[in-house]
Structure 1
Amino acid sequence: MYEAYFGLRGKPFQLNPDPSFFYGSRGHRRAMAYLEYGLHQNEGFIVITGEVGAGKTLLVRSLLEKLDPKKIVAANLVSTQIDADDTLRLVAAAFGIPSKHLTKSDLLLAIEAFLVSTTAAGKRALLIVDEAQNLTPQAVEELRMLSNFQLEDHALLQSFLVGQPEFRAIMQSPEMVQLRQRVIASYHLGPLDLQETHAYIEHRLSCVGWKGNPSFDQEAMREIFNVSQGIPRRINAVCDRIMLGAFLGEQRRVSVDLVNQISAEMREEQVTPAALQTDAFSPRPAAVVEASTAGIDLQRLLANPEAAKVLAGAGAAFDTARFEERLAVLERTLSTTLNALGQLLKAAQQQATTTESGGQGK
């Protein structure tokens, strides 16, 4: 919408991971070095973790862009909480191995046969598992067992596990000791600092032909960093709205006032006025059920950094990044709790009706 106004060839701050926009911050370069080291080793597991929106998926896609398909057969798997057998079927499907109606033993044989044929053809098999924090312990064990496949003294499969910070805690659990012994490198991808945030914004703009229109004030850059906390996905979301705001206001310069205006608008969009009603937080089951059926958006309320600080009473020490990582789990918990409360309330009402009818019958 604003691209033509600023003379840009495309949208610079899209949220979808695009390897052509890859920015090599210190952290991203180091993470890429670990992945490339893992490829050179051709065995074991490489573990990459990072905050939500830190650029893990873009990192993986940028690596895949570099791979020679004549030498490496790569499969990218986005994990969910499924059982171990389904994990093996997803691995088979990712490599294009027919698995319909196969028993687990036959499925393992089919995967091993594929890996052997791949190695015999002078190629290497690489499995990339994204969202690894969703893997169950049984699923992780199945992946570890796949790493046992060998041809003579050569490993047939190498795996990269990419996930959110909680995967690091999962890795330290007692049942993961055998997997930890197979990990040859691990790295945590953190947020950008102020200078990197500045360079990141200009890099993405330059990728679409930016020539300084609009210009960004230094204070505006600093405020974008403060608002986004250096998380690339948040930077993209804020900057896209800033570009739109500058276009609508016919401005050729991004000031700190514009950034503040946009960030305030985005905060307002995340909280509905009804969500601030005290009844929504009443301990009475009926009130909680009423809050749910009235359409109060509890997730969006809790996702708002300022509202979260107030609710948690944590002030400036509140860790918004970690809070947002738990939102998905929190939303599921709230939904389950509200459904259970609704059923209890319905049962209580039915019981009261039955009791009242019985009393009248007497």
Structure 2
Amino acid sequence: MYQAHYGLTELPFTLTPNTSFYCELEGHRSAFEVLVTALEAGEGFIKVVGEVGTGKTLLCRKLLNELPEQYVTAYIPNPYLTPSEMRAHIARELQVEAPEEQSEQLLTQAIQERLVAISRANQMAVIVVDEAQALPAESLEALRLISNLETETRKLLHIVLFGQPELDERLATREHRQLRQRITFSYNLQTMTVAEVARYVSHRLYIAGYHGAPMFSSRVVKMIHQASRGVPRLVNVLCHKLLMLCYGEGCYEIKPRHVRFAVADTEDVTLPRRTGLWWGLAGAVSLAALGVWTWQQGWLAEYLL
């Protein structure tokens, strides 16, 4: 798309949680320290909660990538599972040999035997659940029951829950009070400050191979922060559109008008005061025209080949 125009080796503002682009923001650094400390302490449930787009999945993947070898992990990226499906998934992740007879009791026993073996090898099992707010009530309770597996002296596994604020709302109910009392460490992810948005944008451009003059002025960064509310995912969406707009115009420096165009064309952002219907129409037309132009360039290149 626009990599050659800016001298990039890859797209810097994709929505895929790519750990190579991880920027150590204050909130993410603190959350990661809480997770590591909690795991070393060897206690029960750990919870990280953050609004949509604040980087929970990226932090989750960073944790899985950087845990020392003494941790054996089971990752549940899609928790919308029945209790039996969840137990089967955990068994596969922990490389448990499934019993020949289809029995929930035998499968649970096999999981416990595997956890005991992991413990005897001086290792610790960790179940990491992303999007934990989507866990059905029965599966959430089943997860609590699995956490009961222990020896006389120590827990056999940790359970780390990453979820949206709805997770806290569910845990606050009487139905889940037993699980709520077992959460020994928790952290709430915050959105980025203006200074962090500036560092975040610069960091991602650098990782993507950009070494030119600064493209984002302080005024532009403040507008991006205002529009996105400091949410990393929305910052990515806006910055991607800003690079597309400048690429379409053949320029490099991002202007406030570019931000207004991108904001007017993006869902779930706060529009600056000066932004109105005209900016919305202009932004939509500009991005649509750029899309057509980019498609034509690709068609022409294919034709010439």
* TM-score class normalised by the smaller sequence: 0.7 to 0.9
The corresponding residue for 1:97 is 96
The corresponding residue for 1:59 is 59
SS at match of 2:266: helix
Matched to 1:46, the amino acid is I
Q: Please, what is the CA RMSD of the aligned residues?
A: 1.8
CA contact (8 A) 2:229 2:270 kept: no
Residue 200 of structure 1 and its aligned partner are, at CA, apart by 0.8
The corresponding residue for 2:84 is 85
SS at match of 1:115: helix
Distance 2:114 2:102 in 1: 15
SS at match of 2:5: coil
Distance 1:110 1:38 in 2: 27
Relative contact order higher in (CA < 8 Å, ≥ 6 apart): 2
Residue 147 of structure 1 and its aligned partner are, at CA, apart by 1.4
Distance 1:114 1:59 in 2: 27
SS at match of 1:151: coil
CA contact (8 A) 1:45 1:185 kept: yes
Gaps of 5+ in 1: 268-302, 307-362
Matched to 1:116, the amino acid is V
Distance 1:233 1:98 in 2: 40
Cα-to-partner distance string for 1:84-131 (whole Å, 9 max, x where unaligned): 222212222222324476211011001101111111222211100111
Residue 213 of structure 1 and its aligned partner are, at CA, apart by 4.2
Distance 1:135 1:15 in 2: 24
Residue 189 of structure 1 and its aligned partner are, at CA, apart by 0.7
Cα-to-partner distance string for 1:312-350 (whole Å, 9 max, x where unaligned): xxxxxxxxxxxxxxxxxxxxxxxxxxxxxxxxxxxxxxx
Residue 263 of structure 1 and its aligned partner are, at CA, apart by 2.0
TM-score by length of 1: 0.71
Residue 32 of structure 1 and its aligned partner are, at CA, apart by 0.8
Superposition pairs of residues 27-66 of structure 1, within 5 angstroms: 27-66=27-66
Residue 82 of structure 1 and its aligned partner are, at CA, apart by 3.1
Larger Rg: 1
The corresponding residue for 2:158 is 158
Distance 2:183 2:27 in 1: 20
SS at match of 2:43: coil
CA contact (8 A) 1:81 1:135 kept: yes
SS at match of 2:15: coil
The corresponding residue for 1:286 is none
* Identity of matched residues, %: 33
Does 1:129 pair with 2:129? yes
CA contact (8 A) 1:223 1:259 kept: yes
Superposition pairs of residues 333-352 of structure 1, within 5 angstroms: none
The corresponding residue for 1:350 is none
SS at match of 2:4: coil
CA contact (8 A) 2:133 2:163 kept: yes
Residue 219 of structure 1 and its aligned partner are, at CA, apart by 1.5
The corresponding residue for 2:196 is 196
CA contact (8 A) 1:214 1:252 kept: no
Gaps of 5+ in 2: 272-305
The corresponding residue for 1:182 is 182
Cα-to-partner distance string for 1:298-319 (whole Å, 9 max, x where unaligned): xxxxx6878xxxxxxxxxxxxx
Q: Cα distance 1:241–1:213, how it changes in 2: closer, same or farther (>3 A)?
A: farther
- Count of matched residue positions in the alignment of Structure 1 and Structure 2: 270
Does 1:12 pair with 2:12? yes
Residue 5 of structure 1 and its aligned partner are, at CA, apart by 1.3
CA contact (8 A) 2:263 2:269 kept: no
Distance 1:248 1:99 in 2: 56
Cα-to-partner distance string for 1:200-219 (whole Å, 9 max, x where unaligned): 11111111232244511221
